[in-house]
Amino acid sequence: MAEDRTTQISNWCSFGPQPLIMDGIFCELLKQHFADATNIEQAELTSRLYSSTVANNNILITTPSAWTPTEAQRRLAVIVKRNGWKCEKRGFADNTNGATVEGFRRHTKTWRGSHTIFALANEGPETQILAAEVYRFFNHFGPVFRQYFRLLMFEVVEVGTMSQIKEWDAHWGIPITIMYGWDDTWILKPNEPVLAGIDLSDTFSVGIGT
């Protein structure tokens, strides 16, 4: 049975999802999963675990900016790549949650984003096995991650077809896309009333006798 290991992740940043933070979360979740043979469903991968010590038989987990084909050589690799994020406007002036007891407006915008996890290997069958391990891990624990990271959604939405990736030294790759969503809520507290520092007397003065 799969094990819930999310308690080993650092507490969620008070600012919510950010590109670098999300890259780190996906990498950390995968590293924890592949570091222990008891987590692995695919028997063929139990001897190819993740380790911070570099070895040719260890699985490599990283981002595209830190990965090179020469580093991978014949190792299995899982590459974490962030896709574009989209913002959805909610309500008039994004003021959907009313105001605080002090009278400050509470603003909210909803965001949708996704990451694509590439399962890479030199051989087609290895690639299929690695992709199955990755997508089943995120598919099974999606509800746990959604609740733990206080997201609106977190789910696998696509497992792509296998293809040979020339840019990555002709490795075979399968993309697994994971979509997530969250609300960004904030409160603006002005130090002084709006327009208090603007002198409009000259602008609206009325001349006498004109």
**Non-local CB neighbours of 55 within 8 Å, separated by 6+ positions:** none
Domain ranges (residues) in the chain: 14-85+111-181
pLDDT in tens, 36-45: 999 999 999 9
Question: How is domain 14-85+111-181 classified at the CATH fold level?
Answer: STM4215-like (3.30.2000)
- Res 190: pLDDT: 72
- Res 3: pLDDT: 47
Give the start-end residues of each E strand in 35-168.
60-62, 77-82, 86-89, 106-121, 153-159, 163-165
Q: Measuring CA to CA, how many Å separate 94 from each of 91, 121, 161, 195?
A: 5, 46, 39, 21
Let me know: does 79 contact 169? Beta carbons within 8 Å. no
Q: Burial letters for 68-78: b for 16+ Cβ neighbours within 10 Å, e otherwise?
A: eeeebeebbbb
Q: What is the DSSP letter of 59?
A: B
Q: What is the pTM of this model?
A: 0.78
The closest alpha carbon to 185, from 123, 118, 98, belongs to: 98
Helix (H) or strand (E) holding 30: helix 19-34
For 15, the token pair is 């600012």
- pLDDT per 10-residue tile (average), the chain, 210 residues: 47 71 94 95 93 77 78 79 88 63 78 95 93 97 93 96 80 95 83 60 58
- Res 176: pLDDT: 98
- Res 185: pLDDT: 82
